[in-house]
Structure 1
Amino acid sequence: MVAEIDKPNVRTSPVIPFLGEFREDVFGRRPWYFWKAGAAGSVEGLFSLAVVDELLATGLIRHPAVQLVKDGREVPADAFSRTPLSGGGTAVRPVDTRRVLSHFQDGHTMIVNYLEQCHEPIREVARALAAELGFRVQCNSYVTPRASQGLRPHFDEHDVLVVQVHGTKRWHIFPDSEAAASRYRTWPMLSPSERERRSSAEPAAELVLEAGDCLYVRRGSIHAANTEGEVSCHLTFSILDTSEAEFAESLLPQFGRLGVRGGHARPGGGAAETEDLIRTLESSLEDLQGARQFQIEAELDGPVRVIAQYETLRDLNRSVSLSRTPGIAHRIVTSGSNVQLSFGAQAIDLPAVLTPAIRKSLEAPAISGAELEELGLSRSDALQLLRVLIVSGLLQRT
């Protein structure tokens, strides 16, 4: 069995060019770490206050993707949102921007969650982090008015990479618990009194972040941040750990593809079957880990343009030129007479004889049905393969 993971084009980021150093020397090893703007790179084009206004104005970002907090207290949804006019219940509510403005004037921080799902520049940074670290990544923005604090001293159960994009913010990081360095374990919750005791201690660090600065805060490190004389906007890239149990559970769907099946052992055959299973799992562990990494990166795929792809399928003939869609990962696994092509949350099995044509279609600057015919495919087989790659979102019209 041979597995190939194609990673999207973004492997490093102009915002976070120090990913290799971060992975090797900082991530999970230090309670906090700070990069000045010159080392961190440029945040121009990544995010801005204007983007926040635009996201709110479209009405597409709704509660609970938008939250308002002040001094650790969250504003109830019905205090800044509207009930939908029809259907859908009240779980997802349109934001009332006038009421949001009133709360912002009163010192509340605006939090916009899941930006990696709706803003392409942030999706690219999250994808680079996920590819480098092997963990899921989620991004939120925090916009805080001057002389305000959104959250009281607290700790997160995941590591956080902070990127300051506008204004300044003062951060206090308190003495760290050694338990924070332990990964893949149930998180030891602190009692309110213990949390208060730790956050009342002398800060281990006090930092002022300016636009372009980056700050890493390890899971379990108690921290707090506040603005002073101007509005601040920062991003948090949450690096979401996977526990050993969650990792094992995520691999279960892959077992069937390896021929591993559940059920009771036959009498007298248990030991031999167990040894066979262990050998199978050992020989396939690398592939299973690759499958998990692909799942993580596929969650950050760019969108498929539905109407454009529909029209490409309608117009498809042997001379139509197609090319790779940027920002969408795929995985190819060859096993015997089959090749499995994975994209997004789907996987399809195709005859292994198509492997050269699949690779050429996804690696060439441009491809057409006529060029696949030169590899020995019939006209109908060439067009059918291209249809599969268009529907998957991997190819688009040049």
Structure 2
Amino acid sequence: MLRSKLPFLRSLFHRENYLLIHKYYSQKVLNISDPAVQTYLKHLMIEYDTLHIKARRTVEENKRLHEIKPIVSVLEQRIALFDSIESLKELTKKDQKDEEIKQMIKEEAKIYLGRLKEVDTDLQSILLEPYLSNGGVILEVTAGAGGQEAMLFARELFELYEAYAQYKEWEVDIASVEKSDIGGYRKASMLIKGIGAPELMKMEAGVHRVQRIPATERSGRIHTSTVSVAVLPQATEVEMEVLDRDLTIETKRASGAGGQHVNTTDSAVRITHIPTGTIVECQQGRSQIKNREIAMEKLRALLLQKQIDEQSSKINSERKTQIGSSNRNEKIRTYNYPQDRVTEHREGGINIPSLKVFMQGGEHLEELQESLLRQHRYEVLMAEVNDFINKNKIPNV
């Protein structure tokens, strides 16, 4: 089967054919006519055929086969279209005096080229479609530069993510909240679980800058402050078994506001991981069981993050990489209240004209995250292409 496809593969990626169709439609984000991309796509087809004919496949091979099947399916459609175009080109080389036949060839070519445009759009979508897993993350919001104003915005940002999680129908548990004197948040964290939560919420990691006139500012001067967001991965079941060893679990009465019940019940939970000295607490709910569950999830996330940092051999941990030093010039997004707009500073991001609507945590945030994920997927794909070319030392690419 593979040998029968090779002539069409050469036709599929032939430069003349790309020049033939290039004028009919604008180039998309991914340049499929790039020789390196062409080579990589041919490699995917050969890889698919090799895996497909294997009598026995490993779990990883089955997973890989499932991943590349949609891509190969679209590429096979392109092969058939290019084959039809080649047939029409052969007809045009013959001495055709029949004007009716000439017109039919012209119309058919137009149909094939139009269909080719649609197939290429499908190919772009499949190649750049982000993978969304069913999992969870620990999201932490920390007030940065700007004093009380930063703490107030930290609370608004935290509530934005709560609302967004409800919009996405994700499961949310508040892990911890440290309030300021005037109702802001010095630091707060939540557990978020659901389809797409790990990938979408990862896009929120970094420094968020807010520009607005504080209610207490008499001069009407615009104040700039920052809030840092860190997103930590939750451990898998296998990782949990390792991370849950050597723990000390203590219960105590919850402190702070919350009514008589909170203050007279040993509902607060404190867990210490003895080997690393990592300590987490949870006293948000009235149920000791629920607080323990949340504390364990947070501890696992923190320990898993430590493992990731050690394995990556980076000077700074992932959290520090995400949130920087909370300086005003280290930002991923700006919330400008006087101009009522949200400006995304990362490549692939989109700007939102209505800040008030954005802060409600609905489709605008979803659209922004998906745009950033597509850009991330593009960068990952191009890295795969370049790695393949370099690893195999393919010349003239």
- With structure 2 as the length reference, what TM-score do the two structures score? 0.22
Q: Which has the higher helix share?
A: 2
Normalization by structure 1: what TM-score?
A: 0.22
